[in-house]
Copies of this chain bind each other. A is one copy, B any other.
């Protein structure tokens, strides 16, 4: 397999193409501009459509239209732009339209900064839009993983008829690493017989989200809920890193998890047995993994590039069975492995 040296943004775009995505609608925003730029070059080459929308809102509804027309389609943006898409995301989830949305997070709130951040965790996993819905949220920690998760995202979206969010921090987007594009085995997916393609030889199709009858709307919500339950059962993805013998466990995702790995190596050299649970799917969240580890490990350090968001899910998993501490940097500041080492050392020093 040929190794290519690419930014995460470019790799995500190329992976989308290779996963059969032929439609991209988006609006420029740092630090993810390489995605639309790459798409604007490559999509016309493969007979696809790149369209720079007039806004993030227009982009997400173009995605709604293309997905509802049966196509594989994606959009991408960064924090403020993703906030603007919240209504549309709620609609897409409600209308059960498959699509992939990449959020290459930057420092917030407001205009914030353009450096890496993980402060949109809540928005992504709890639902930044209105109503009871969930995105499938996947968080790569290397460029290579960004490629495989992007490809998988399109299949998952089609499988569940649900939007999938690829949640990357600015590092994932702008870092360059070697990547290999492996052909994914073909997955058997349900036919899109619900899509708007012209009512020829069949009853007309309808893509909608309104249900003025509360009983009907409740039914629809329960249907969605059951889908999320199925995801919770089948789609949890995580990495256990040296947890077997660990006395302390770090919880981290995305590029912070890589930094934590370096910290763990340094700590182990000092004889401190540290491991890590790295959630790859943020929704569904690996609650069980934390429930399990908490039976054995009494100290868990959550490290995020935020003021503390994933920590709530870790606590919900741990459910009081272990002490959950937090270390975070924000606004584009990045926790260094040295800082993580220091935090863990503090933690193991104090008696539980």
The stretch among A107-115, A152-160, A173-181, A187-195 that forms the contact with chain B is A107-115
Q: Residues 273-315 of chain A: 1 if any B CB is under 8 Å from the residue's CB, otherwise 0?
A: 0000000000000000000000000000000001101001001
- CA A80 to CA B211, docked complex, whole Å: 14
Q: Residues 195-216 of chain A: 1 if any B CB is under 8 Å from the residue's CB, otherwise 0?
A: 0000000000000111111111
Q: For A332, what are the chain B residues with a Cβ–Cβ distance below 8 Å?
A: 214, 217-218
A82 within 8 A of B: yes
A142 within 8 A of B: no
- Please, which residue of chain B has its CB at the minimum distance from the CB of A208? B111
A268 within 8 A of B: no
Beta-carbon contact of B128 and A112 below 8 Å = no
The stretch among A9-17, A33-41, A89-97 that forms the contact with chain B is A89-97
Beta-carbon contact of B127 and A110 below 8 Å = no
Q: For A91, what are the chain B residues with a Cβ–Cβ distance below 8 Å?
A: 80, 109-111
- CA A293 to CA B93, docked complex, whole Å: 37
Beta-carbon contact of A122 and B127 below 8 Å = yes
A266 within 8 A of B: no
Q: For A132, what are the chain B residues with a Cβ–Cβ distance below 8 Å?
A: 108-109, 119, 306-307, 309, 330
- Please, which residue of chain B has its CB at the minimum distance from the CB of A321? B320
Beta-carbon contact of A110 and B95 below 8 Å = yes
Q: A126-B126, A307-B132, A320-B319 are in contact. Are A330 and B218 (CB under 8 A)?
A: yes
Closest Cβ of chain B: how far from A89's Cβ, in Å? Answer: 8
- CA A86 to CA B56, docked complex, whole Å: 13
Copies of this protein, total: 2
A84 within 8 A of B: yes
Beta-carbon contact of B83 and A112 below 8 Å = no
Q: For A320, what are the chain B residues with a Cβ–Cβ distance below 8 Å?
A: 319-321
Beta-carbon contact of B331 and A113 below 8 Å = no
Q: For A105, what are the chain B residues with a Cβ–Cβ distance below 8 Å?
A: 130
Q: List 15 A-B contacts (CB under 8 A).
A: A80-B87, A83-B87, A83-B90, A105-B130, A107-B211, A111-B210, A112-B131, A113-B213, A120-B130, A123-B126, A211-B331, A220-B331, A221-B331, A315-B319, A320-B321
Known: A83-B128, A93-B110, A113-B210. 18 other contacts (CB 8 A): A79-B131, A83-B87, A86-B128, A91-B110, A107-B211, A107-B214, A111-B208, A112-B130, A112-B131, A113-B212, A113-B214, A115-B217, A122-B126, A122-B127, A123-B128, A126-B309, A214-B333, A218-B329
